[in-house]
Structure 1
Amino acid sequence: MIKLKLAELLARRRLSIVELSDRTGISVRDLEVLRDQKALALRLKTIDCLCRCLNCQPSDLIEYVEDAD
């Protein structure tokens, strides 16, 4: 399973979804979908935008976690 670590990054940087939206131009709703692990797909352009804004690598944002099954 792919896990998005947006919530952890935002918490570490003390940044809100609204602030991130203002900085990136990505809608609050789309960021909430990513934060809440509801996304079915993620564009490379979005990953690039988030990494630029959060000054991180894609691996800081995305993690592969094996299913418990």
Structure 2
Amino acid sequence: MIEVSANDRLGKKIKVKCLSSDSIGDLKKILSLQIGTPYDKIVLKKGHQVYKDHISLDDYEIHDGFNFELYYG
């Protein structure tokens, strides 16, 4: 298990535990349960890279302690 965090830069910083084999879409679903926003309205970014739903965390080389930027689309 790894722990990643998502910061929406409006005061919310959410930490979630997930597997490295989970997809970005799975991570969005976990985040949506905690913040109360539909998962299809969540956009995860880091710098200029937008993470696609069907690709796994391991394929993106996301490790324990990774920080996402959380946007609402």
**TM-score by structure 1 length?**
0.34
Q: With a CA cutoff of 8 Å and minimum separation of 6, indicate the structure with the bigger relative contact order.
A: 1
Bigger Rg over Cα: 1
**TM-score by structure 2 length?**
0.33
Structure showing the higher strand proportion among its residues: 2
